[in-house]
Amino acid sequence: MRFLCDHMLGTLAKWLRFLGNDVVYPGPIEDDELKATVEREARVLLTRDRELSGRVAGSVYVASDDLNEQLVQVVRAFRLPANLAMTRCSVCNAPLREVPKADAQGKVPEGVFERQREFWRCDTCGRMYWQGSHWANMSARMQTILSKSSLNEPPRDSISKA
Ligand SMILES: [Zn+2]
């Protein structure tokens, strides 16, 4: 899915990227500019601003300021796959590219290089990725969030029809 997170939702933007989504996070810009970007790039606006959400068709008003609740809301509303994917840079949203292990030498901590077999690189910002303990912790957290949230609660009808 293609999203635009408003400037209140930076952490959510990173998590949605880790779930394989294309998420732009422009920081504080004027509402009109936000609306124009959403329309031009065919994105879904995720916003903490109820009034703005009412003005942008297909947008989602994110009610909670709790990350877990935000993730549940968005994953359910769009039936997103809840598995982490090594496809997008969490920092700049550029696509990741799997690189041969030899290419990671000297670019990641030595212990990581020894333990990991697979590496990915963001060609835009140069950041390296691997599925280390942080990855495992995020996966576990995602599963916990979703299992807790699945208790007989229907998906919230939260997509603005404006
Ligand atoms: Zn990057």
pLDDT of residue 147: 84
Structure-token pair, residue 73: 């809301």
Confidence grade of residue 73 (pLDDT, cut at 50, 70, 90): very high
Q: What is the mean pLDDT of residues 124-128?
A: 97
Please give the distance, rounded to the nearest whole angstrom, from the Cα atom of residue 88 to the centre of ligand 1. Answer: 8
Rounded CA-CA distance 91/52 in Å is: 25
CA of 138 relative to ligand 1 center, distance in Å: 19
pTM: 0.87
CB neighbours of residue 83 within 10 Å: 11
pLDDT tens digits along 24-63: 999 888 999 999 999 999 999 999 999 999 999 989 999 9
pLDDT interval class at 151 (50, 70, 90): very low
CA distance to 19, 83, 94, 156, per residue, from 140 (Å): 13, 10, 25, 24
**Could you tell me the distance, in angstroms and rounded to a whole number, from the CA of residue 86 to the centre of ligand 1?**
12
What is the mean predicted confidence (pLDDT) over 100-112?
97
Q: Is the pLDDT at 152 greater than 50, yes or no?
A: no
Ligand 1 centroid to 157 CA: how many Å?
33
Report the alpha-carbon distance of residue 129 to residue 121 in Å, rounded. Answer: 6
Query: What is the 154 CA–ligand 1 centroid distance (Å)?
Result: 36
Output Rg (C-alpha) for the chain, integer angstroms.
17
The per-residue pLDDT for 156 is: 54
Distance CA 109, CA 133 (A): 14
The rounded Å distance from CA 9 to ligand 1 centre is: 18
In the chain, alpha helices (H): 10-18, 31-40, 50-55, 67-77, 101-104, 110-115, 133-149
